[in-house]
Amino acid sequence: MTDVLPLDDFLAEAKSFLDTNAEPRREETFEWGKGSDRVGLLDEKSDQQELAELDAAKVWRRSLYDAGFGWITGPVEYGGRGLPAGYERAYRELAAQYRTPSEAPFGIGLGMVAPTILAHAVEEVKARYLPGLYRADIVGCQLFSEPIAGSDLAGIQTRAVRDGDEWVLTGQKVWTSGAQYSDIGEVITRTAPEKPRHKGLTMFVVDMKAPGVEVRPLRQMTGGASFNEVFFEEVRIPDDHRLGDVDEGWGVALTTLMNERASIGGGGGGATNVGLTRLLELARHQGLTDDPLVRQRIVDLYVHQTAARYTSLRAMAKVKAGQTPGPEMSIGKLALTMNMRRTADVLGDLLGPKLVADSGEWGTYAWSEYVLGVPGIRIAGGTDEVMRNIVGERVLGLPKEPAPRA
């Protein structure tokens, strides 16, 4: 057995890298009326800004990977460092003290696609894609939702038909983040339509640059285009790019879904915690901090956010202990969106017409972008309705929801 590098030596190595390649993070203080008052939930960037962020993120990610910090816990044979999970946590705590480029473009590829490839792909595909994903030579996206099925993955219609050593993919996906700059996608398809809904599904890794793939941006009511619809017209996929067994894609999809909900809900409502700080300042600025009803609403929001945070911390502790993510992640994701809705309701009470009419006053109308972004978060990673069904059936043991009548 190979000796593990002592943690102190690892951290000294990491600190040397960060000191050389990044600047220490300075404490940021909030002052009403100064700086940007943007509080949006979704990235709203021009194409040029998006590409600039992607290029900067790739440069940083490659230096990180080449220095040995790009996949600290990953298997050595696929480009990882093979160190225990505690080393990853220690590195993240250290790195939080430095200013580094955003790695948001890689969130889906590293948080959802890569773990599924590691768990279910053949050796050749693991060796081909995993090092590239973690080094940012490859960007990945997830292709699950469809216009008719929505978050009901058992109802998808995108077809994959076998043709010798290949599969021919035809159909449409929707709400795909990052598809416009992704190199590969993880796609779920229906391969046996005659089988029951959760059967006959098969997962693949698809080349997003292949002939027959078309990506179209979806404009949101916030004004941005963070999501896409993707069309597949007789796209050919090699059989060795299949994830798991034929017609057994449901179990493979659960690997991705649990990782997705962990990444969205695992923060315990971090986006709304930022909102709470600004809400307090807004209430002070509006002269409402002595209003007992306003104080009650804000404290109620704080209590719900704190409960969500501790629930998520328990779930993440389960993951860190090497256990499989379960329905707890659905609870975390649902709690996140419910707290965002509570925040939006409080904003309506605090701002009134200033929330929908731009008076030019700093820190008021800017909240409209937050409110308009909440529905998108309620869809991402599974709708609130799907999350409630999962919690009801798998956590509370309630009967399954009745099937719709034909």
Residues 6+ apart with CB under 8 A from 163: 236
**Does residue 188 sit in the same domain as residue 222?**
yes
**Does residue 243 sit in the same domain as residue 183?**
yes
**Domain ranges, residue 222:** 140-247
**Does residue 272 sit in the same domain as residue 368?**
yes
pLDDT at 155 (0 to 100): 83
**Does residue 213 sit in the same domain as residue 323?**
no
Contact 329, 256 (CB under 8 A): no
**Does residue 202 sit in the same domain as residue 307?**
no
In a domain, 6, yes or no: no
For the question of residue 194 being annotated catalytic, the response is: no
Residue finishing a domain among 135, 155, 183: 135
**Does residue 300 sit in the same domain as residue 382?**
yes
* Per-residue pLDDT in tens (0 to 9) along the chain, 406 residues: 457 899 999 999 999 999 999 999 987 777 888 888 988 887 778 888 889 999 999 999 999 999 999 999 999 999 999 999 889 989 999 999 999 999 999 999 999 999 999 999 999 999 999 999 999 999 999 999 999 876 677 789 999 999 999 999 999 999 899 999 999 999 999 999 999 888 899 999 999 999 999 999 988 888 778 789 999 999 999 999 999 999 999 999 988 876 665 555 444 444 445 568 888 999 999 999 999 999 999 999 999 999 888 877 777 676 666 666 566 777 888 888 999 999 999 999 999 999 999 999 999 999 999 999 898 888 777 788 888 888 888 788 899 877 766 5
The neighbour count for residue 29, using CB atoms within 10 Å, is: 6
Supply the CATH number for residue 56's domain. Answer: 1.10.540.10
Q: How many domains does the chain have?
A: 3
**Does residue 107 sit in the same domain as residue 183?**
no
pLDDT at 322 (0 to 100): 63
Residue from 146, 260, 328, 369 carrying the catalytic annotation:
260
Residue finishing a domain among 182, 216, 247: 247
**Does residue 281 sit in the same domain as residue 349?**
yes
pLDDT at 404 (0 to 100): 64
**Does residue 119 sit in the same domain as residue 238?**
no
Contact 113, 141 (CB under 8 A): yes
pLDDT at 269 (0 to 100): 40
**Does residue 131 sit in the same domain as residue 145?**
no
Supply the CATH number for residue 369's domain. Answer: 1.20.140.10
pTM of the model: 0.83
